[in-house]
Structure 1
Amino acid sequence: MTTTVCDLENGIITADTRWSAIFPLNDGNELILYCDDTTFDKICIVGKAALLTAGDGTLIAKWKEWWMNDRNPTTRPITDNALGENAVNLAIVDLVNNDVIFDAGQKNALFCLQTNVIKAFAAGSGGIHAASHLLNTGCAISAVKEASKEDYYTGSEVKFLNFDTTQNNLEPATYDYGKIVNGLIKRGRVMTKQANTPTDVGLKVQDHPLYSDMKKALKTGQAIASAPVPGLSRFKWTNDTEKKFTEAMDRVAELT
């Protein structure tokens, strides 16, 4: 439930701020509870390296804690959820050399056929819409905004990070998953795909008849807030993935 864009050509990373939880209904439809101002960003900077995340909020919180404090590849957090499926999409970017030094999970890449170089990528549920817009306009910020018009799980508020200057509008870095839960419970809104369009804002969560049930499910962990990526569970970490990850973290150590 997200859109992230990494434009290597122009040196900028952008991401929406939406975190969501899904509540299935008996009629086969789903309630979408979302919040766009949890203060839990999907971009996290350490030195001149950036970690881009999407997926299961509880697992991403552990990854951000590790990224901000430890960064030892031998103690990296898990990426599988309780079902044993991969639930974290990652990218690590070298902000000095405009280089993606690690990638785990599905991305929509913009590839230059003349130079055989990836110029940019977009990820998340709105990734395909963002990639299309980026290809036509070259603007990573408006690409996320445009994706929000087509994707229920992408918000219109955009966070950015400039490679050269590290100028950004990110919130103070946090790995407190409770901020996401509190945002959903206190400032969240609810909509359904059947009754709403992606640009609708929905109903205040407190005004929804199932508010108490949704609040309890989030508080007890029965419902997980996330920013999922299509096909995320199909990605598998291999020995080659681990090797590339270790090499990437050696680079990160040089950048911090």
Structure 2
Amino acid sequence: MTVPLIVMITAAASGIGRTVAEAFAAAGHRVFVSDTDAKAIDEMSARSPEIVASRVDVTSSTEIEAWFAKVKAEAGGVDILINNAGIAGPTERLENIGVESWHNCIDVCLNSQFLTSRCAIPLMKEKRSGSIINLSSTAGLFGYGLRTPYAAAKWAVVGLTKSMAIELGDWNIRVNAICPGSVSGDRMNRVIAAEASMRSTSPEEIRREYTSGQSIKRFVEPKEIADLCLFLSSPAASMISGQAIAIDGHTETYHI
């Protein structure tokens, strides 16, 4: 019988995050999610009432701290933190990217993981156990032309992950990064449309480029990411920490 764990997931009322949240709930765990989309939160609450969804801006330390205080009061702490929040950022050449757009991408994709982790770590240390999973990307393993702030943030997430793993090993707290390739869904469709417009080509050509350099030539399904999160949080992965694990069908070369 699975012992219910306390799971917190950012940006999880829709998309990949929702799939991950529902997978943990189906496995019998207590799941708390954050999101900024009020409509998505309402839809999740109606669809999965066992999952507690809260409106939280992950770039706000005040809102993050209040969310963790709420979960601690209701559940007594946290066992698993999944830093899923991220945005695509601008699709543009570096010299044309606005300063505000750069900072916004870094804030959501990187700084939010610092803000959540600094709240989760003391709670996990109390239990002398825990699992933190940071969502990076294959963009955190390769350069990514026209998406430099996103790639910079995702590379930094890998460094953050490995450094946290070094600091937290004595408390039996594991920290890993998942690096998805192109994931099926609305967000990837928007990314492809933006790049096609920027490069004056078709979405179909961009989609072909994204899979042409992979050994397995298809997009990742959100459920595959959820399955990896479940594994990395399980006793079966008790000696896996400090890793950046690609789930991308093996990227051989990167497009453009």
TM-score by length of 2: 0.28
Say which structure is richer in helix.
2
TM-score by length of 1: 0.28
